[in-house]
Amino acid sequence: MELSNLFWSASLDEMKRGFIEEKDSFVCLMCGESIEKGMVYPYEEKLYLAEKYIRIHIEQTHLSVFDYLIGMDKKLTGLTDHQKRLLTLFYQGKNDKEVQEELEIGSASTIRHHRFVLKEKERQAKTFLTMMELLKEKDENAPTFVPVHQTATMVDERYNITQDEQEKILKKYVSDGTLTKFPPKEKQRLVVLREISKQLKKDHVYDEKELNGVLKDIYEDYVLIRRYMIEYGLLDRKSDGSQYWAKK
């Protein structure tokens, strides 16, 4: 199962801890790192069993599940930049007066009001989530949508893609791992670019020449592909363009 599918199908408890347990391993929901059960893993001159080590991985690689989630696109979290800032300060353990002083807004009572609004948002989210779970049991006509990848940017109508649509688009534009034509529509481009991203190595840093070589084997206008992959949050790079890597 693709990482995005694992992430969005995880339970609330699994999302909170940042990993899922499979038969033979623990899998990080944020990057797909798989830690095999029954193995002992070294870290800072100590040895750890798999479940403890996956928690160490999350802390060392992602800081925390909270830090990862708060950094996601606002269309995926439903939070404004201001709300993200407030939640970050609350997560750091700051009291209302400390938050008010750091943000330089209103008074401590203003911050308490913000806390109330966030709690209201939590109640609404729980109610909506429950209704959607109940709906799954009744709505037999609902199409299967392709999950939005966690690193997506500018989440909008382009991401409204069903599994059937994805299969048709790939059949039309991709043949034997190569792109036959660059799609004219945004939604089609997203599907194709996500498929291309699967051919990039994870946990590998490419220099510009190496990446261009990989993309050129997929489509002749590799510069166009590279630019769109960055735009869609599938690829990241250093500001000087000297190094590139697939985003997780």
Is there a single domain that holds both residue 163 and residue 124? no
Question: Is 142 part of a structural domain of the chain?
Answer: no
Residue 205, exposed/middle/buried by CB under 10 A (0-12, 13-18, 19+)? middle
Inter-residue contact 235 to 247 (CB < 8 Å): yes
Backbone angles phi, psi at 235, to 5 degrees: -140, 140
Q: Where are the beta strands (DSSP E) in 14-89?
A: 19-21, 25-28, 34-36, 40-43, 46-49
Question: Is 52 part of a structural domain of the chain?
Answer: yes
Please give the DSSP secondary-structure letter assigned to residue 26.
Answer: E
Question: Is 147 part of a structural domain of the chain?
Answer: no
**pTM for this entry:** 0.69
Please give the DSSP secondary-structure letter assigned to residue 94.
Answer: -
Is there a single domain that holds both residue 92 and residue 50? no
Question: Which residues lie below 8 Å from residue 105, measured CB to CB, with a gap of 6+?
Answer: none
Question: Is 148 part of a structural domain of the chain?
Answer: no
Each residue's pLDDT expressed in tens, for the chain with a length of 248 residues: 566 788 888 999 999 999 999 999 999 999 889 999 999 999 999 999 999 999 999 999 999 999 999 999 888 899 999 999 999 999 999 999 999 999 998 888 999 999 999 999 999 999 999 998 899 888 877 777 777 777 777 677 777 888 899 999 999 999 988 999 999 998 999 999 999 998 998 889 999 999 999 999 999 999 999 999 998 889 999 988 889 998 87
The bridge status of strand 178-179 relative to strand 174-175 is antiparallel
- In which domain, by residue range, is 86 found? 72-137
Question: What's the one-letter identity of residue 97?
Answer: K
Is there a single domain that holds both residue 170 and residue 235? yes
Alpha-carbon span 228 to 233, nearest angstrom: 9
Predicted local confidence at residue 89, as pLDDT: 96
